[in-house]
């Protein structure tokens, strides 16, 4: 291990720590420096550095979130310097479990989460082949301690005391396979795993990635209800990939700087239930009717685009892992007290007449602090029609998930 104190969490963003407080305007990279030369002696990061640098060009966070992140560091830095000359030290204090960690999404997701300076323990679970993944990751010199758990007999121990559970377990889509085709296999997997979560860490944030999310999130909710531990504020369907894709495609189409682009995506997480609200794009952009239709269809079918490009060798694993890691990092920031964390997610909702709906939410220490209804007001005519068109399909998927659990009561 190098003797130089060092830390950087850099996945499109850079977070490092050093020697004195010096906030800069939000439009510029932020640097916070502290008095102690050994402020990060306990963190052996990705490159030698003794300063904190949050570049505004972060790709994990949008422009507003980057500004919030900068703003959250400055007062902490100033407060720390007032109290002590020992500097601000990031505390890795959260425990994350990935269920399905040996899979195509699970492995890159585990690597990205291993890079987070907020994670103290990373528990990896799968039915096979997880020991090698854990051994490989454990060689990365970041704070979190990696442990592996294999098979149903070790699932409970994997979940003890966990703060965030991420569930990418299940089979991926193959060419010609719809998300509905995944249902019978993945529904049972999610049901079994969420039962274990309910028994071992009922207060944890639960991130559902397993498709079809429009059905697996209601499945998880029903399981938790039957177990008597359902907290709608802590159950999330991870739809971040739809936002990531929308931001990317719009930036490419309009030749915009990617960090500036923010497109809210509402509805669900499959086909026409995915509705990017291009009229709400920040910064404000003018689209022709043809551009709106083309972009909307591409965002809705982006998963198929990857499946076909891989020609049967897999689905959207890397971009999904990236998007899921972004949502995990947002959850950890919220748990750590950041008061300005917003993401889109498929959650229990009263914004429409559907019981679950994807929309922008504000995250806090106890989960969802509030839903953001403003995105659904003042929609374009195209978006209004698309919103009404997606509701029957989304309603059917939600009801399918609920019915699945009601027909198969959970294990006591």
Structure tokens at 48: 């030698």
| Catalytic pick among 33, 70, 95, 269 | 269
Element of type H or E holding 192: helix 183-200
CA–CA distance, 242 with 279 (Å, rounded to integer): 16
Q: What is the DSSP string of 47-110?
A: S---SEEE-TT-SSS-HHHHHHHHHHHHHHHHHHHHH-SS-------EEEEEETTTSTTHHHHH
207 is catalytic: no
CA atoms within 13 A on the CB side of 230: 15
Return the residue matching tokens 């992140």. 69
Q: What is the CA radius of gyration of the chain?
A: 21
Name the DSSP letter for residue 392. H
Calculate the CA dihedral of residues 239, 152, 228, 330 and round it to 10 degrees: -30
Q: What is the DSSP string of 335-379?
A: HTT-S-EEEEEEEE--SSSSSEEEEEEEEETTEEEEE-GGGGSS-
Structure tokens at 241: 């990939």
- Active-site residue set: 269
């Amino acid at each position: 291990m190098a003797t130089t104190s060092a830390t950087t969490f850099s996945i499109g963003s850079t977070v490092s720590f050093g020697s004195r407080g010096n906030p800069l305007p939000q439009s510029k990279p932020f640097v916070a420096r502290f008095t102690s030369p050994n402020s990060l002696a306990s963190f052996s990061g990705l490159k030698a550095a003794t300063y904190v640098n949050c570049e505004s060009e972060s790709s994990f966070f949008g422009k507003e979130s980057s500004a919030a992140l900068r703003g959250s560091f400055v007062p902490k830095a100033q407060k720390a310097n007032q109290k002590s000359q020992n500097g601000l030290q990031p505390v890795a204090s959260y425990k994350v479990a990935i269920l399905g960690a040996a899979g195509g999404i699970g492995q890159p997701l585990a690597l990205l989460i291993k890079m987070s300076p907020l994670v103290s323990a990373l528990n990896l679970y799968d039915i096979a082949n997880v020991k090698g993944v854990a051994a490989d990751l454990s060689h990365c010199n970041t704070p979190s301690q990696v442990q592996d758990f294999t098979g149903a007999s070790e699932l409970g121990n994997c979940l003890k005391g966990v703060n965030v559970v991420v569930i990418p377990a299940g089979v991926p889509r193959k060419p010609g396979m719809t998300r509905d085709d995944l249902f019978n296999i993945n529904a049972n997997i999610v049901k079994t795993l969420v039962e274990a979560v309910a028994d071992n860490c009922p207060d944890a944030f639960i991130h559902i990635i397993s498709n079809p999310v429009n059905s697996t999130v209601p499945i998880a909710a029903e399981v938790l209800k039957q177990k008597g531990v359902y907290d709608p504020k802590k159950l999330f369907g991870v739809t971040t990939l739809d936002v990531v894709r929308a931001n990317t495609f719009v930036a490419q189409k309009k030749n915009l700087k990617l960090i500036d682009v923010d497109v809210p995506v509402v509805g669900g997480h499959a086909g026409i239930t995915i509705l990017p609200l291009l009229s709400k794009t920040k910064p404000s952009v003018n689209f022709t009717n043809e551009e709106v239709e083309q972009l909307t269809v591409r965002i809705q079918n982006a998963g198929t685009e990857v499946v076909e490009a891989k020609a049967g060798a897999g689905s959207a694993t890397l971009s999904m892992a990236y998007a899921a890691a972004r949502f995990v990092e947002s959850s950890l920031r919220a748990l750590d007290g950041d008061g300005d964390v917003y993401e889109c997610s498929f959650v229990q909702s009263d914004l429409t007449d559907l019981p679950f709906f994807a929309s922008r939410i504000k995250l806090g220490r106890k989960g969802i602090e509030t839903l953001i209804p403003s995105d659904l007001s003042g929609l374009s005519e195209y978006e209004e029609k698309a919103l009404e068109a997606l509701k029957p399909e989304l309603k059917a998927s939600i009801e399918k998930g609920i019915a699945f659990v009601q027909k198969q009561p959970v294990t006591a």
